[in-house]
Structure 1
Amino acid sequence: MHKIFSFGFWNSIARLILRNRIIIIVLIAIATFLLSTQWKNMRFSYTEANLMPDDHPVNVSYNDFLDKFGEEGNLILLGVQDSALFTPEKFKAWNELTKKLTSYPEVDHIISPASLKELKKFEDPQRFEMVPVLESKDPDSTQLKEFENKLFTELPFYENLVYSSHSNTIQSAIYLNKDLVNTKARKIFVLEELDPLIEEFEEDQGIDVRVSGMPYIRTLNAQNIVDEIGLFILAALIVTSIIFFFFFRSIRATLISMFTVCIGVMWAFGVIGLLHYEITILTALIPPLIIVIGIPNCIFLINKYQQEIQKHGNQAKSLQRVITKVGNATLMTNLTTASGFATFILTDSQLLREFGVVASINIIAIFILSLLIIPVIYSYLRPPKDRHLKHLTKRWIGGFTNWTENMVRNHRIAIYISSIVLLIASIIGIYTIKISGSILEDMPKNTTFFKDVKFFESEFDGVMPLEILIDTKRPQGVMKLSTLKRMDELEQFIQDIPELSKPLSVNRLAKYSKQAYYNGNPKYYQLPSSQERNFIMPYAKSLSSSDGLMQSYVDSTGQFARITTFMKDVGTEKMEEIENDLLPQIKKIFPEDRYNVSLTGKALLFQKGTNYLVRNLIISLGLAIFLIAILMAWMFRSFRMIIISLVPNLLPLLVTAGVMGYIGVPIKPSTILVFSIAFGISVDDTIHFLAKYRQELKANDWKIKRSVYAALRETGVSMFYTSIVLFFGFSVFMISSFGGTVALGGLVSATLLFAMLANLLLLPSLLLSLERSIANKEVLKEPAMKIIETDEDENDFRTEDEKN
C-alpha cells in the first residue's frame, strides 16, 4: 500500500504539472515578477558584521563604550611620505584639499599639518591657549622648513597622530560625522567625493597619497563584494554551461538549464530583498551557489528524459517518468543539501542565521523550479534527435565506470589501506590547524587600499583600534593625578608591545600642559608632579573646551576615560596573547575596588567574534551530520546503513581539514563553511547509490555482489557528471579577490571530488565486505520513502488504478 501511495503521489504530481503547463508558466512568471519588485529592498552593510548576539558580554561592553564616547571607527587617514609636501606650492595644494574636505557634511573636523595648533602659556589672565603652529597663511620655503623641523622635534603631542615616529611620513586625520559614518552617506562621500579629490591631487602635484582608516576600508571592501556578485554569477553561468554542453552536446538542453538557474538567481535576490537582509560576504555567495547546486538537478532530469526517449521514443511517457522516477530522488538530495545550510539557522550569529535562511529556502526553490520548468519546456519541443543522445553511450564514461568497478572488485584492500593512511595523516594535519581572526587576511591583496593599510601599519603601528575604558567610580576622578599616573604606567606597558601603537589619552594633554608651562620645551613633555600641578591648574582650567581634545578622551562627568591604541593586523592567536598580557597588568595597576577597567574596540570585537563564530559553525556541522543521519535512518530504517553511509562522507571532511593544517589554511568563518556545505552536498551521492543498491537487491534476489556492481554502473555516470559540475562550479569562487572566498571555493571543490571517489570506491567496498551483516531483509527493511521508482512500481499502480 505504501509503495502504491508513493508512486501514486508522484504520478499525481506529474499529471498536475503536464496538464497545467500554461498555469505553471504564468505562476512562475508572476512569482518572478513579484520577487523582482523586492530587489529594491536589498541593501549593503555599512558596518562590520556583528558576529555575536547583542546580549553577549563583549557586545554589551562595546556598546557601553559607544554610549560614552560615540562611534570609534570614524577616522579616515591620508598619509604622505614625500618631503616635497613641505614646498610652498604643494603645501598650499594640500591645505586647499583638506579645507575642501572640511566643507562636506559627512566630515566633522580634520587634523592636518596646515591647521595644527600648539599649546601656549599666557599671563594676565593666566591661561593656556591653542594657537596656530604655522602663523602665515601663505608660508614660504623658509617658514615651511622651520615648521617641519618644529613639528618633528618640538611637538611630541602630535607623534603618531600627525607624524610618524619611524620616518618623515605626515598624515591628516579626517573625523567623519558620527551620525553619518554608518550610513549610505559614507559610501557616497568615499567613492564619489574623497577618492576623486585625492586622484586629482596626486595627478596635479605628483605626490602619492595613502588612504586608510576603518570607514575607508569598510567602504572599499563592501564595494568589492558588490562588484564580485556579478562576476561570480557570470563566471558560474559560463563554466557550468560549458561543462553541461560538453556532457550533453545539446545547445537546447544547455539553454533550458541556464534559463532555469537564472530564474533561481532572480528568486534568490528576491528572497534577500523580501526578508530585508543585508548583502554580506556570505549572502553574496548565494546566487552563484544556486547556479552550482541547480545544474545537477537539471542534469538528473534531462539525463533521465533522454534515457527514456532512447528507450521507447514516447515523449509524453518520458516526461511523466522524469517526474515520477527522478522527482523523489532529487527532492531528497535537495533536502539534505538544504538541511546542511539550514543548521546555520540554529546558531546565535545573525550573520550565519541569515545565510542559512536564504540558502535553504532557495535550494528548495531551485528544486521546484527545475521540476516545473524542464518538463514543461520539453513538452512544447520536439523530442531530441539521435545525435543528442550519443552522450548516453560514451566510451570514456564507460571506461571510468569500469575502472571503479575493477577497483572495488579486485583492490578493496588497497582502498581500505589508502583510506586508513589518509585518515591518520589527516588527524595529524588537523592538530596543526590554527584559528584566524584577522580582519585583513581575507581582503584583496592586490588592491591599493590593502597596500595602504600595510603602509599605515608600518608607519603608525596599526589601524585597528583597541580601546581601554576606565571607570574611576567617581565624578572628576579621571583628572586626579593618581589616576593619570596609573594611566601613564599602563601606556608605558602598551608601548613595549610591538604590535600596538603609542596610545592616545588625556595624558597627552596633561603632558602637553607641562611642556607649555615651561614655554614649549619638549624635555618637559611629561606628567606634572603634585607640586607642579598646583602651578599648572590655573592655566589648565581654560582647556576644558579647547578644540574638543578633552571631550574625545574624557566623558562629560569626568568619571570615565579611554585609552586608544591601534593594533597591527596580527590574527586571533597573537591577539589572545596580547589580551592575556594586558589584563593582569590592568588589574595590577588599577585596583578593582577603585576602578572598573575593560578592554573593547573593533580589534577585540572582531577577534572575539571570530572565535564565537567558529564555535557556532562547529556546532552547526555537528547538527548537520546528526540531522542528515536522522534523514538516512528515516529513509532506510537501518542503523548499520547509517554508519556505512556516513563513513565515506566524513572521511573527505577529515582529509580536507588535514590538508588545511598542512598547507597553512587557518580555520576562519569563510573556511569553516566548507565542511557544512560539502557534507550537505556529498551525501546526495550516497543517497542515490544506496537507493539504487536496495532496488537492485530486490531485483537480484538479495545477491549483494551483483547488486553492488549494478548500482555502481547505474549511478557512477550521474555521480561523475554532477561532481564535475560541482567541482568546476565551486572553483569559480577561486577567481575572487577575497582570500576567504578563494579558500572556500578551492576546499569545497576538492572535498566534493574526494567525496565522489569515496562514494564510488569506499562505500561499495564496505557493502561488499559487510555483506553478511547487512544483506538481509531485516537490516534493509522497506524504506519509509521510495527514493527511486521502478517500472514494476508503475505497473503495480496502473493495475490498482484499473481495478478501482
Structure 2
Amino acid sequence: MKKMFSIGFWEFIARVILRNRVVFLSGIVIITILFSMQWKNIKFTQTEANLIPFDDQINVDYRSFLKNFGEEGNLVVIATKDPKLFTPKVYKAWDNLMTTIQSNKEVDLVISISNLKKLVKNDSLESFELKPLINTNKTQNLDYLSQVKSELLNNLPFYEGLLFNKKSGAIRSAIYLDKKIINTKARKDFVLNKLIPQIAKFETETGVDLRTSGMPYIRTLNAKTILDEIGLFIGAALLITGLIFFFFFRSFRATIISLIIVIIGVMWSFGLLGLLGYEITVLTALVPTLVIVIGIPNCIFLTNKYHQEYKIHANKAKALQRVITKTGTATLMTNLTTALGFATFIATNNVLLTEFGVVTSINIIALYVLCLIIIPIFHSYIPAPIPRHLGHLEREYLTSFMDWILRTVKYNRVGVYITTILLLIFGIIGIYEMRISGSIIEDMPKKTAFFDDIRFFEKEFDGVMPLEIMIDTKRKKGVMKLSMLKRMEELEETIQEIPELAKPLSIVNLVKYSKQAYYNGNPEYYELPTQQEQAFILSYAKNATQNSKENLMKSYVDSTGQFARITTFIKDENGEKMNAIEAQIRAKANKLFPSPQYNVIITGKASVFQKGTQYLLDNLLSSLAFAFVITSLLVLIMFRSVKMVMVSLIPNLLPLVLTAGLMGFLGIPLKPSTILVFGIAYGLSVDDTLRFLAQYRLELARNDWKIKKSVIATFNDAGISMFYTSIVLFFGFSVFMLSSFGGTVALGGLVAITLFFGMLSNLVLLPALVLSLNKTLSNEQEFIKPTIDILEHTDEEVDAMENKK
C-alpha cells in the first residue's frame, strides 16, 4: 500500500512536469535571474579563517590584545641582500620608493634606512630627540654611504632584527599600514594597484631584486590566487565531467544539457552566497566546483535510466515518465544522504564550516530538483535515442570488470577478508604516524614568488608570523617601573633561547636604546639603566615621547601604561611546535609575573591559527561521528535491522582508515583542508552502500531468497551505476589537484583516493559480507519490510498502479 502511494505520488510529479514544461523552464529562468541579481552582494573574506568560536577564551584574549594595541597584522616588509643598495644611484631610487610608499593614504608609517632616526640626548631640554641617521646632502658620496652602513650594522642594536640582519647584511624596510584598512578592500587595492607596481618600477630602474612579505601582503596575494583558481576549477570540472559523460553516452545533446544543468547550479551557488551574505572563503570557493562534480552523477543516473527504459519499451513518452516514477524516491534519498554528509559541518560550531555546510547541502538538493525537471523535459523535445546512444548498456569492458568482482566475491571471500584486515592494519599503523599542522602558509601556493619571499624572511629575519605576549600589570603606569622592565628583559632572554623565534621587540629595547643615547650613542651601553640611572634616563625617555608624533613607545605600551607588549616572530614551518613553545614561555612568565598580581596573555595570529586547527580537528571528528550516527539511524529506519547497520558502516569505515594511514606514511598532516576529506568522502560513499543494500533486498524478494542469484542481479543493476558515479566523482575531485594551494591539492587528491577505495569496498567487501551473513540477512522473518523504501519501483509495480487506475 505504501509502495502504491509512492508510485502514485511520483507518477503525479512526472505528469505535472511533462505537461507543464514551459512553466517549469520559465520558473527556472526566473529563479536563475533572481539569483544572478544577488551576485553583487558577494564579497571575498579579507581575514584569515578564525576557526575558534567567538566566545572561546582564546578569541577573548586575542580581542583583548587588539583592544589595547590594535590590529597586529599591519606590517609589510621589503628587503634585499644586494650590496648595491649602498651606492648613490640605487640608494636614491630606494629613497624615492620609500617616499612614494609613505605618500599613500593607506600607509601609516614607513621605517627605512632612508628616513631612519637615531635617538640623541638633548641636555638643555632633559630629553631625547630623534634626528635623521642620514644626511641627504651626502648620499651621492659612496664613502659616506659605506659609513652609514657600518654605523647601522655596528652601532644601532635597537634596529637589529627589525631593519637588518647583521650576519648576512640583509636590509629591510618596515611599512605599517593604517590599521583601519587592514581587513577591508582598500588593503587589496593598495597592495595590487600601488605597492606592487611601485616595487616593480624600482627593480626595473636598478636591477636590484626586492623581497616583499608581511601579513597584509600575503593575505592579498593569497586571496587573489584563490579567486583566480575558482574559474580554473569550474572550467576544468566542466571539461572533464563533460568528456566522461560523452564517453558513457556518445550523445552531444545529452552532454550539453547536463553541462547546462550544472552551470545553472553554479549560478545558483554564487547567488546563494550573495543572498545569505556569506563571504567567499577558502572553503566556499570550492562550492561551485562541487556543484559540478556532484551534479553530473545525477545527470548520468537519470539519463542512464531513461536509456534503460527506452530500450525496454521503445516508447519515449513512457520512458520519460517512468524515469521519474520509478527512481523518484531512490534519487531523492541518495541526494538527501549526500546533503546530510555536508550538513554535518553545520554542527561544528565553526562559522567557516557552518557556512560551507549550509551552502553545499542546499545546492545539492537544488541540483537534484534541476536534474529531475530539466532532463525529462529536454529529452521530450529532442528525438529518441539511437542505438549508438544505448551502446553503453552492454559495454564489454564493464561487464568483464563486474564478472571479475563477482568471481572474487563468490569464490575468494577469505582472500577478501585477509586483504581487508591487512589494509586495516596498514591504515592503523599509518594513523599513528600522522601529525597535526597549524601552519598558516603551509597550504599557500609554493610555486609563487610571494611564497619564495616568505621563505627568504624566515631565513633572514626568523619569520613573518607574529607571536604576541601581553602583560597586564594591573596598575596604571606600571610598565615603566624598572623592576617591571627587568622582569620583561628576563622573559625576552628566554624567548631568544628558543631557536624557532625571532628577536623580541618591546619597550625594553627602547629603554636600552635610551641609555645608549644618553651615553652619546655608545653601543656598549645598550642595556637597561641601573637603579641610580633610572630616574634621569627614564625621565628623558618620557619627555621625548610625551607630546611627540613619533612616539616610539605607543606600539609597545598602551596609553595608560598598564599593558606591555612583547612581539616576536615565529617561522611558520614550526607551527607544529607552537604548543611546546608556548608552554616554555608560559612556564617562565608564571614565575616572573605571578597571578593575581599580573595577567599574561600569549596570543597573535600564529598562536590563534594553531589552536584553531586543534579545535577544528576535535569538532570535525565529532561531526564525523555524528554523520555515522545519522547514517546508522537512516539505515535503521529504512530496514529496521541492526545487522544491516553494521554491514553498511564497515565498508565505509575502511576507506577512511586507509586514507588516514596513507596521510601518515606520506607525511600529509591533519590541517583544516585535509580534515574535511573524511566528512566529504563519507557523505558521498555511503550512497553506494545504501543503493546496493536496498537493491539486494529487492532482489532477494524477487528471487525467492536465493542469495547468490540475488547478488548477481544486484550487480547487474546497482553495480553499474555505482561504478559510473564513482568514476565521475574520482575524476571530478581530481580537478582540485590543479590548484597551486597545497591544501586544495591534498583535499582533491585524498577525496578522490578515498572514493576510489570506497567504490572497491562497496563492490567487493560489502557483497562478501552480505554473502557471509546471508543466513541472518536473508531470513524472511528478520528482514522486515522497510519503513522508507528507496528502491526503484519495478515494471510490475508501475504496471499494477496503471492498471488499477
Q: Give SS of 1:527's match.
A: coil
Amino acid corresponding to residue 393 of structure 1 in structure 2: E
Q: Give the aligned partner of residue 168 of structure 1.
A: 169
Q: Give the aligned partner of residue 324 of structure 2.
A: 323
Q: Please, which of 788, 799, 803 is the counterpart of residue 785 of structure 1?
A: 788
Q: Distance in 2 between matches of 1:75 and 1:85?
A: 22
Q: Give the aligned partner of residue 89 of structure 1.
A: 89
Q: How far apart are residue 687 of structure 1 and its match? A: 1.6
Amino acid corresponding to residue 145 of structure 2 in structure 1: L
Q: Distance in 1 between matches of 2:619 and 2:560?
A: 40
Work out whether 1:554 is the aligned partner of 2:540: no
Q: Distance in 2 between matches of 1:537 and 1:428?
A: 61
Q: How far apart are residue 246 of structure 1 and its match? A: 1.1
Q: How far apart are residue 436 of structure 1 and its match? A: 0.7
Amino acid corresponding to residue 797 of structure 2 in structure 1: D
Q: Give the aligned partner of residue 758 of structure 1.
A: 761
Q: Give the aligned partner of residue 5 of structure 2.
A: 5
Q: Distance in 1 between matches of 2:392 and 2:295?
A: 21
Q: Give SS of 1:570's match.
A: helix
Q: Give SS of 1:148's match.
A: helix
Q: How far apart are residue 458 of structure 1 and its match? A: 0.6
Work out whether 1:123 is the aligned partner of 2:126: no
Q: How far apart are residue 321 of structure 1 and its match? A: 0.8
Q: Distance in 2 between matches of 1:510 and 1:215?
A: 29
Farther off after superposition, 209-218 or 534-543: 534-543
Q: Give the aligned partner of residue 675 of structure 1.
A: 678
Work out whether 1:437 is the aligned partner of 2:438: yes
* Cα gap change, 1:420 to 1:525, in 2 (>3 Å): same
Q: Give the aligned partner of residue 645 of structure 2.
A: 642
Q: Distance in 2 between matches of 1:241 and 1:181?
A: 42
Q: Give the aligned partner of residue 799 of structure 1.
A: 803
Q: Distance in 2 between matches of 1:686 and 1:555?
A: 61
Q: How far apart are residue 234 of structure 1 and its match? A: 0.3
Q: Give the aligned partner of residue 454 of structure 1.
A: 455
Work out whether 1:506 is the aligned partner of 2:507: yes
Q: Give the aligned partner of residue 606 of structure 2.
A: 603
Q: Distance in 2 between matches of 1:572 and 1:198?
A: 30
Alignment map for 1:648-727 (pairs within 5 Å): 648-727=651-730
Q: Deviations over 1:281-310 (max 9, x none)?
A: 100111111111111101110001111111
2:578–2:610 CA contact under 8 A, matched in 1: yes
Q: Deviations over 1:160-215 (max 9, x none)?
A: 11111331111111100011111000000001111111111111110001000000
Q: Distance in 2 between matches of 1:645 and 1:657?
A: 20
Normalised to the residue count of structure 2, the TM-score between the two structures is: 0.98
Q: How far apart are residue 424 of structure 1 and its match? A: 1.4
Q: Distance in 2 between matches of 1:393 and 1:534?
A: 95
Amino acid corresponding to residue 792 of structure 1 in structure 2: E
Amino acid corresponding to residue 569 of structure 2 in structure 1: F
Q: Distance in 2 between matches of 1:408 and 1:40?
A: 55
Q: Distance in 2 between matches of 1:538 and 1:333?
A: 75
Q: Give the aligned partner of residue 144 of structure 1.
A: 145
Q: Distance in 1 between matches of 2:16 and 2:444?
A: 50
Q: How far apart are residue 713 of structure 1 and its match? A: 2.0
1:236–1:291 CA contact under 8 A, matched in 2: yes
Q: Give the aligned partner of residue 100 of structure 2.
A: 100
Q: Distance in 1 between matches of 2:286 and 2:76?
A: 29
Q: Distance in 2 between matches of 1:627 and 1:320?
A: 32
Q: Deviations over 1:641-680 (max 9, x none)?
A: 1111111111111111111111111111111111111111
Q: Give SS of 1:552's match.
A: coil
2:122–2:128 CA contact under 8 A, matched in 1: yes
2:689–2:762 CA contact under 8 A, matched in 1: yes
Q: Deviations over 1:252-297 (max 9, x none)?
A: 1111111111111111111111111010110011111111111110
2:77–2:213 CA contact under 8 A, matched in 1: yes
1:466–1:599 CA contact under 8 A, matched in 2: yes
* Cα gap change, 1:336 to 1:202, in 2 (>3 Å): same
Normalised to the residue count of structure 1, the TM-score between the two structures is: 0.99
Q: How far apart are residue 137 of structure 1 and its match? A: 4.3
1:6–1:785 CA contact under 8 A, matched in 2: no
Alignment map for 1:247-646 (pairs within 5 Å): 247-545=248-546, 546=548, 547-646=550-649
RMSD: 1.1
**Unmatched runs of 5 consecutive residues or more in structure 2:** none
Q: Give the aligned partner of residue 78 of structure 2.
A: 78
Q: Distance in 2 between matches of 1:742 and 1:298?
A: 26
Q: How far apart are residue 572 of structure 1 and its match? A: 4.2
Farther off after superposition, 25-34 or 45-54: 45-54
Amino acid corresponding to residue 187 of structure 2 in structure 1: R
Amino acid corresponding to residue 261 of structure 2 in structure 1: T
Q: Deviations over 1:562-594 (max 9, x none)?
A: 000011113443111101111111101112232
Q: How far apart are residue 235 of structure 1 and its match? A: 0.4
Q: How far apart are residue 795 of structure 1 and its match? A: 2.1
Q: Distance in 1 between matches of 2:789 and 2:516?
A: 86
Q: Deviations over 1:429-453 (max 9, x none)?
A: 1111111111111011100001100
1:682–1:755 CA contact under 8 A, matched in 2: yes
Q: Distance in 2 between matches of 1:306 and 1:137?
A: 86
Alignment map for 1:733-752 (pairs within 5 Å): 733-752=736-755
Q: Distance in 2 between matches of 1:613 and 1:161?
A: 34
Q: Deviations over 1:739-792 (max 9, x none)?
A: 111111111111111111111111111111111111022322111222221112
Q: Give SS of 1:129's match.
A: strand
Q: Deviations over 1:60-104 (max 9, x none)?
A: 001001111111100000011111011111111111111111111
Q: Deviations over 1:6-35 (max 9, x none)?
A: 111111111111111110000000000000
* Cα gap change, 1:571 to 1:9, in 2 (>3 Å): farther
Q: Distance in 2 between matches of 1:102 and 1:688?
A: 64
2:46–2:184 CA contact under 8 A, matched in 1: yes
Q: Give SS of 2:181's match.
A: coil
Farther off after superposition, 566-575 or 156-165: 566-575
Q: Give the aligned partner of residue 230 of structure 1.
A: 231
Q: How far apart are residue 233 of structure 1 and its match? A: 0.3
Q: Deviations over 1:461-488 (max 9, x none)?
A: 1111011101111111100000000000
Q: Distance in 2 between matches of 1:579 and 1:778?
A: 62
Q: Deviations over 1:669-709 (max 9, x none)?
A: 11111111111111111121112111111111111221111
Q: Distance in 2 between matches of 1:571 and 1:339?
A: 36
Q: Deviations over 1:310-350 (max 9, x none)?
A: 11110010001111112221111111111010011111110
Farther off after superposition, 568-577 or 676-685: 568-577
Amino acid corresponding to residue 794 of structure 2 in structure 1: T
Q: Give the aligned partner of residue 37 of structure 1.
A: 37
Q: Distance in 1 between matches of 2:235 and 2:220?
A: 24
Q: Give SS of 2:572's match.
A: coil
Q: Distance in 1 between matches of 2:573 and 2:600?
A: 23
Q: Distance in 1 between matches of 2:123 and 2:419?
A: 87
Amino acid corresponding to residue 81 of structure 2 in structure 1: Q
Amino acid corresponding to residue 456 of structure 2 in structure 1: F
Farther off after superposition, 360-369 or 788-797: 788-797
1:129–1:542 CA contact under 8 A, matched in 2: no
**Unmatched runs of 5 consecutive residues or more in structure 1:** none
Q: How far apart are residue 710 of structure 1 and its match? A: 0.9
Q: Give SS of 1:76's match.
A: strand
2:326–2:798 CA contact under 8 A, matched in 1: no
Farther off after superposition, 385-394 or 79-88: 385-394
Amino acid corresponding to residue 106 of structure 1 in structure 2: E
Q: How far apart are residue 138 of structure 1 and its match? A: 5.1
1:571–1:607 CA contact under 8 A, matched in 2: no
